[in-house]
Structure 1
Amino acid sequence: MNFFKKREYESKVHVSFPEKGFMDQQQHPFGDEELPFEFRHKPVDEQLQQDNWRGVEEAIRQPEEVQVRRLSWLPASLAAASLILVVVGIWWVETRTGTPLMSMEKTSYGEIKTILLPDSSVVMLNGNSSLRMLQQWGAGDNREVWLDGEAYFQVQKQHAARKGFVVHTKQVDVEVLGTKFNVNTRRLQSIVSLEEGKVRLSVHGEVSMVNKDSSIVMRPGQTVVVDASSMPKVNEERNVTAHSGWTKNEFHFDNTSLAEIARLMEDTYGYKMTVADTSLWRLSISGDLRASNIQELIKVLEVTLKTTMRIDRERKTIYVTRP
């Protein structure tokens, strides 16, 4: 763009250098005399000069402003595109693949977590355990959860439109209506203890001596043990609530050996137990102990079993010796 307007007139201007000393130093052949050339100059009025410079400044700024406007919408566009992709992905998973979305709750060693399920049933998850479930339960769907570890269930009764409550493990499926029960799935076996209500166990044939699917209906006060090495065992117990004592930081021991206690320590707290003398494994204990953490439990066991127990946190090991 030509921002300068032409004028109808021109003038001649002579240029001279009054700093003669400087010219002398440079040995200019002309000194301070009039230079032997002339050039043509177009005088411009002040208002026109201001208008011209304003046009130049606007022309310079314009590309930067356009660039800023072009970039300003980019983050918002990327966020919107990401949101669309997430929504489409969820829709595709649920509708195209037929795979429902799952959620999982996990506990670390020594941690106990209380979980409120979508139907208002309550689950207490013991340490080193996990529970999977559908994110949403429809009115006509089974209320299903998948357990690895140990958990205590208080299942809410539902109206007829909603189906039963099922706990899936590797060995059995526990189907209940309204009840309280404990499920332990550690060490390649499932132990189900029923406190209240009614439970039907569906035993998986491939993991039991039955070699075919079978079912067991449990009554309150019963405990069923299912593993791959023997037939399912149904035990009548006077104190079935002892199996869920961990929910109150209580441990029930009935002539329980130190070897069994060592398995409890490893499953719940992640610590292995080592003895200086193998005869220590045969030490046993009976009674109810209360401890909110592994340190408290170790102190009680030391006094009761008359041993010395040292915890090595780096190696995750408990060393047992005689005093």
Structure 2
Amino acid sequence: MKYDHYEAEDFAADEAFTAWVQHPEPETERFWQDWLAAHPDKRPTVAQAVQLVRRLRFQNPVVSEPDVQDAWQDVQAQLDSRRRQRTLYRMAAVISFLILSSAATVWVLSNQWERVETAFGETRTLELPDGSRVVLNAHSQLRYPASWDATEDRDVWLEGEAFFDVVHTANHQPFRVHTPELDIRVLGTSFNVRHRRGKTQVALQQGSVQLQLNPEVTPAAAADPIMLVPGDLGQFSDATQRLEKQPVDVAAQAAWKHQLFVFDDTPLSEIALHLKDQWGVDVAFADPVTEERRLTGEIQAPSLDVFLESLEEVLDLEIQREQNRLLIQ
């Protein structure tokens, strides 16, 4: 089938796909849900495509040359340099298709969007247009409108991990954080969101949060929404396909904001994933026994070198490092 090898930009250029996203009908809803059920590996790609379509805006029906030039500049500004050439051609298809449509309208990427990215080992604190504050963890990305109208919902899109301190507006505007699997709805509260490797976790510090599966990429009947109260952890993963809730130490979940990493009987195999997420290093183990050794405690680590030195000392390990590869023995 033609959709099997589509990337997000291909879906966004497809007339049937965009019609489903914008004006879902029972027949199209059934088709796409059946297709996603048969292609679960494409759910993240479809989620990105849905976000892309929703970020497009209708322009004046009369399309001028400056309009097209502005569209190209917007597209180019948001491309990842490693995929620039391939994605330019795909975006050209999106823009060309819409310019030639019967309505004579054109969609362009809105120039009113902000995108903040962090590198490995970097955290950033930022203030959103409504005054809410976000601490963005390493190797993460946050996208949001450059301004919010007083009548609009406040929506942001997260890949990676971030801690949110959301202000409560006078007219009670909902605030939503979107990951590929979950829509997280709040009014004013503090919480940590972590999205890595097909799993989203939400740890609530203050206020209340509602978790809802993203209907575009998960079956509508998969789970009802769940409410979190302070001290709860809500999570959903591609592996379990279940929306779950359990108590958690929220301070430990968000300790990374202070360059503090808390472990509770955590195997080294899981700590290796943390090293990959935080500093972009690949970890190998000399033997399976070492891989299953466990750590309980805290490590204060402003850098990878400090973290590795502490790990060596606490567990009496030898860690060899060659560029971005580690051997633990």
Q: TM-score, structure 1 length as denominator?
A: 0.67
Match of 2:159 in 1: 148
Match of 1:89 in 2: 70
Cα RMSD, aligned residues only: 2.4
Match of 1:320 in 2: 328
CA distance, structure 2, for counterparts of residue 154 and residue 253 of structure 1:
24
Match of 1:108 in 2: 119
CA distance, structure 1, for counterparts of residue 69 and residue 290 of structure 2:
61
Q: Which amino acid aligns with 1:157?
A: H
CA distance, structure 1, for counterparts of residue 327 and residue 204 of structure 2:
36
Q: 1:103 to 1:206 in 2, by over 3 A?
A: closer
1:294-322 deviation digits (Å, cap 9, x = unpaired): 11100110011110112211xx111112x
Match of 1:250 in 2: 260
CA distance, structure 1, for counterparts of residue 217 and residue 264 of structure 2:
28
1:228 aligns with 2:209: no
Higher Cα Rg, which structure: 1
* 1:85 CA drift (Å): 4.0
2:188 paired residue among 152, 156, 178: 178
1:291 aligns with 2:272: no
Q: Report the count of equivalent residues.
A: 232
Q: Percent identity?
A: 31
CA distance, structure 2, for counterparts of residue 202 and residue 308 of structure 1:
44
1:157 aligns with 2:168: yes
CA distance, structure 1, for counterparts of residue 288 and residue 216 of structure 2:
36
* 1:89 CA drift (Å): 3.3
Match of 1:193 in 2: 203
CA contact (8 A) 1:205 1:214 kept: no
Structure 2 residue runs of 5 or longer lacking an equivalent are 1-64, 75-104
Match of 1:216 in 2: 226
Q: 1:207 to 1:281 in 2, by over 3 A?
A: farther
Instruction: For 1:42-121, list aligned pairs within 5 A.
Output: 85=66, 89=70, 97=107, 100-101=110-111, 102-121=113-132
CA contact (8 A) 2:175 2:186 kept: yes
Query: Aligned with 1:214: secondary structure?
Result: coil
CA distance, structure 2, for counterparts of residue 288 and residue 167 of structure 1:
29
Query: Aligned with 1:185: secondary structure?
Result: strand
CA contact (8 A) 1:204 1:212 kept: no
Q: Name the structure with the higher helix share.
A: 2
CA distance, structure 1, for counterparts of residue 315 and residue 115 of structure 2:
39
* 1:245 CA drift (Å): 0.6
1:306 aligns with 2:316: yes
Q: TM-score, structure 2 length as denominator?
A: 0.66
Structure 1 residue runs of 5 or longer lacking an equivalent are 1-83
Q: 1:265 to 1:88 in 2, by over 3 A?
A: closer
1:131 paired residue among 142, 146, 164: 142
Q: 1:202 to 1:253 in 2, by over 3 A?
A: same
* 1:213 CA drift (Å): 5.9
